[in-house]
Structure 1
Amino acid sequence: MSDTVSVEYTGVRELRGPLVIVEGVSGVGWDEFATIVLDSGERRHGLVLEVNRDLAVVQVLEGTAGMDRTGTGIAFAGTPLRIPVGSGWLGRVCNGRGEPADDGPPVLGGTDAPVGGVPINPVRREPPNEPVLTGVGAVDVLTTLVRGQKLPVFSVAGLPHLELAVQIAAQATCGGEPFAVVFAGMGLTHADAAFVRDGLAARSAARELALLVNTADDPVIERLLTPRLALTVAEHLAFTQGRHVLVVMTDMTAYSEALREVSAARGEIPARRAYPGYLYSDLASLYERCGRIKGRPGSVTVLPVLTMPAGDITHPVPDLTGYITEGQVVLSPDVHSTRTYPPVDPLASLSRLMRKGAGPGRTRADHPAVAAQLTAALARSRQVRELADLIGRPALSPTDLRFLDLDDAFRHRFLTQGTDENRSLDEALGRAWEVLLTLPRSQLGMIPADLLDAHTPPRGEEPT
């Protein structure tokens, strides 16, 4: 972060939570970068949130603890916050403000870029049409992640969403093309931060990862900066250097809580559940920075992870996220209770761009049909299980019993996977075929006959 200054003020009127209100300012703009010099000589950094006549509201990234109204000077840089960008971020571990947390030197780059960023112009967008393979069978087969897509993971406290996020960040690939991962952790415990660093150590050592970690005891304002830093780094790696970049952001609920806290400190009128009324536009300003640009070789794909308080999918954070993004991967407490990892609920999960990134020339010719048939069969098996609870298993038809067998086979043969198991797409689709072939051929009407002939050995008449 640059400490270059053009205007200096000492008129601190008020310290309010993480905010400093400065009076007597002139020529200061919104989102301008500021350096705060304490009486002790300590330097902190901030961003201008609001300017009203001669008053400026500055959010202090390191927090206002230990600050005093008297003896504090505010120096405004005259420009928004900018950071160096480039491949120097790869292999580095930094805090949520972009400062080194790996005992290394400051991150340097050949150029710098504003952290605020802007969403991609819709006219310049290239439609996503190639997959990002995560090595997690349930995601790759049923909710395929496409380059340039924003696909959130909806979870509940106590579920292994952090393990899944780390596994995807460690295993994801783009078919041999230049690839990088930017991982932004927000509000993590120290144990979780250590888990993330250990789980991604190999990818970091290969200089394919930039890691930004904001812990729960770091200043809350830093949490608002972390995803913006991550996206700024990713945009340069993608659109200037031509890499395909996956940005994993966890936990967006912690980010939204920080936004609510700052909004309350500013005295803004709260909206639904005390979140600010601009929560939707704020989340969109992050999510919409992903995509592909016409004439540029790279892409930015975003995988936000969020926890739903009390499992409520209508909570403002998952609700608004669902409006902005293109599907969701939902983790289920019921599946988790069966000791299945990853505990994905296939019927609640969806990738709206999957058809653009799956099929001949992208994944495999049989992929779309297998995914559609498997989802339909699982929906039918859930209905049969509910029927069995009402009338008893002995009253079910032979075909109904086969659907119950499919449900069990799906969980044990397809869904269950090790936290460090990198499952290829061919293996995952092979397991999907094994699960589907527990059904009579007459129940596989969504798969073309030639694909069935290729994967089905000759056999006698199936029960119906």
Structure 2
Amino acid sequence: MTNESAAGTSLPEPEYTSIGSLRGPLMVVRDVQGVGFDEYVRITTDEGEQRHGVVVEVDRDLAVVQVLEGTAGLNPAATRAAFEGTPLRIPVGPRWLGRICDGRGTPVDGGPPVFGPATAPVNGRPINPVHREPPCEPVLTGIGVIDALTTLVRGQKLPIFSLPGLPHLELATQIAAQATAGSQPFCVVFAGMDLTHADAQFVRGALEERAAAGELTLLINTSDAPVLERIMTPRIALTIAENLAFVGGRHVLVILADMTSYAEALREVSAARGEIPARRAYPGYLYSDLASLYERCGRIRGRPGSVTVLPVLTMPGGDITHPVPDLTGYITEGQIVLSAQAAARGIYPPVDPLASLSRLMRDGAGPGRTEPEHRPLAAQLLASLSRARQVRDLADLIGADTLGETDRRYLTFEEEFDRTLIDQGPRENRTLQDILERCRDVALALPRSELTMLSDELLGIDCAATAQPGRRSS
């Protein structure tokens, strides 16, 4: 990390040695003058160790500093604090591409520190709604069920809701490895938070090829890292992405996994600061804090590039009303929901299409965006899947043998839906043309009379073929 201005290194600030109490990640500095909120602090121990902090509260001549590395081992009588006069800033620019760093942006790939022609504050600002350009054009992930039914759109924020134990990290990593924006310049910023070392090694290995191609920045915050690093990681990732998008003209996909870990870190720091807790002990400002991150994505009128955010979060106990998914749902434009039942049947990715939704899909799919038949196929498949679920419940109640021919075809449709469209390998990258062809195959498992949203031309069938479900005319 650095706190240099775009013009050069700032002048050294006077050091304060009047260190008061230490509590958790917080340090109180007395007798300060001219110190402001969110100011960056350099802390030097008696052994010459450098630590870093941010001012979180100022009361007359007292400043409360949040120490990013924690206060363990600090001796108040031999510690010095220098206030930089500006918020924490990091270098920005294309030199981040291809780099693997820890959660604070320090390289762990054996390369030199990242330098750039300019710096930017890590806290940033949400995009002004007046200058927002409506999201359009798809980001294709290579995941069949997502690209077909919950299309991700450039400039959108679309979270993945998961449960502990489901392969949400594997899915997020596969999306990071495969996602494209067509022929447009594209890159990925992946921020992993609270990862075990095994998970961190898996992510590095899975994304090694994309990093080597100079299309990826990887930030890894491990579980044994300081808790405050977890709070900084998504902010650093978004700061890097904003410059790559709005200055460098790239379409950037930012993946944040796992935002529940981020919120728990925020709760821990809030408790250390003695703040009054709100629902389930989370701070009352959790909504605005999440919004300050998610709303940094989008497109800016008159500027190239876009920032698309794909947050991943686990729902404790599978509770979608838990504060983190609940508040995330208010801020974002839909959700991709993973299902424990689908995972139990061996389906990967275990996405529940009926619980998932992309509110901006109408702007990113269809004529001029993907293919003219995309949206009609998606609407028909979702409507038919809903009917198939009802038939499945009825079959469990009265037995499949008592169902009519059409209802039995719906059971076949559901099986074909899972096997042909949803289920795919963790390294399988499907093209949009392949995905839409699979959608047609799945639809043709039903009688022609049930496909009321689709034309014969779209399905590529004639009257003779309708008598033979599951087969198209030559």
Q: TM-score range by the shorter chain?
A: over 0.9
Question: What letter matches 2:306 in structure 1?
Answer: S
Distance in 2 between residues matched to 1:216 and 1:460, nearest whole Å: 56
Q: Is the 8 A contact 1:48 1:58 kept in 2?
A: yes
- Secondary structure of the residue aligned to 2:219 is strand
- What's the TM-score, normalizing by structure 2? 0.96
Structure 1 counterpart of 2:318: 311
Match of 1:280 among 287, 296, 319: 287
- Secondary structure of the residue aligned to 2:86 is strand
Match of 2:250 among 243, 246, 269: 243
Distance in 1 between residues matched to 2:343 and 2:38, nearest whole Å: 43
Structure 1 counterpart of 2:394: 387
Alignment of 1:224-239 (within 5 A): 224-239=231-246
Alignment of 1:357-436 (within 5 A): 357-436=364-443
Q: Does 1:54 align with 2:61?
A: yes
Runs of 4+ in 1 over 4 A off after TM superposition: 460-463
Q: Does 1:8 align with 2:9?
A: no
Q: Does 1:119 align with 2:120?
A: no
Distance in 2 between residues matched to 1:457 and 1:189, nearest whole Å: 57
Q: 1:457 deviation in Å?
A: 6.5
Q: Is the 8 A contact 1:148 1:300 kept in 2?
A: yes
Structure 2 counterpart of 1:341: 348
Structure 2 counterpart of 1:81: 88
- Secondary structure of the residue aligned to 1:20 is strand
Coordinate RMSD, CA, aligned: 1.2
Distance in 2 between residues matched to 1:374 and 1:100, nearest whole Å: 46
Distance in 1 between residues matched to 2:468 and 2:440, nearest whole Å: 17
Q: 1:462 deviation in Å?
A: 7.8
Question: What letter matches 1:163 in structure 2?
Answer: E
Q: 1:450 deviation in Å?
A: 3.5
Q: Does 1:144 align with 2:151?
A: yes
Q: Is the 8 A contact 2:68 2:226 kept in 1?
A: yes
Q: 1:361 deviation in Å?
A: 1.4
CA deviations 1:137-172 (Å, max 9, x no partner) are 111001000000000000011100000000000000
Question: What letter matches 2:227 in structure 1?
Answer: V
Distance in 2 between residues matched to 1:7 and 1:316, nearest whole Å: 42
Q: 1:461 deviation in Å?
A: 5.0
Bigger shift: residues 3-12 or 188-197 = 3-12
Match of 1:17 among 13, 17, 24: 24
Q: Is the 8 A contact 1:91 1:209 kept in 2?
A: yes
Question: What letter matches 1:308 in structure 2?
Answer: M
- State the identity as a percent: 66
Question: What letter matches 1:16 in structure 2?
Answer: R
Q: Is the 8 A contact 2:141 2:178 kept in 1?
A: yes
Q: 1:460 deviation in Å?
A: 5.6
Structure 2 counterpart of 1:459: 465
| Contiguous gaps of at least 5 residues in structure 2 | 5-9, 470-474
Structure 2 counterpart of 1:327: 334
- Secondary structure of the residue aligned to 1:79 is coil
Structure 2 counterpart of 1:101: 108
- Secondary structure of the residue aligned to 1:458 is helix
CA deviations 1:261-306 (Å, max 9, x no partner) are 0000000000000000000000000000000000011000000000
Q: Is the 8 A contact 1:441 1:462 kept in 2?
A: no
Aligned residues: 462
- Secondary structure of the residue aligned to 1:211 is strand
| Contiguous gaps of at least 5 residues in structure 1 | none
Q: 1:12 deviation in Å?
A: 1.4
Q: 1:49 deviation in Å?
A: 1.0
Q: Is the 8 A contact 1:7 1:78 kept in 2?
A: no
CA deviations 1:407-438 (Å, max 9, x no partner) are 10111111110101101111111111111100
Distance in 1 between residues matched to 2:108 and 2:463, nearest whole Å: 57
Residues 1:460 and 1:212: Cα distance change in structure 2 (over 3 Å): closer
Distance in 2 between residues matched to 1:92 and 1:21, nearest whole Å: 35
Q: Is the 8 A contact 2:237 2:254 kept in 1?
A: yes
Structure 1 counterpart of 2:7: none
Distance in 2 between residues matched to 1:272 and 1:322, nearest whole Å: 16
CA deviations 1:6-35 (Å, max 9, x no partner) are 242111111110111112111111111000
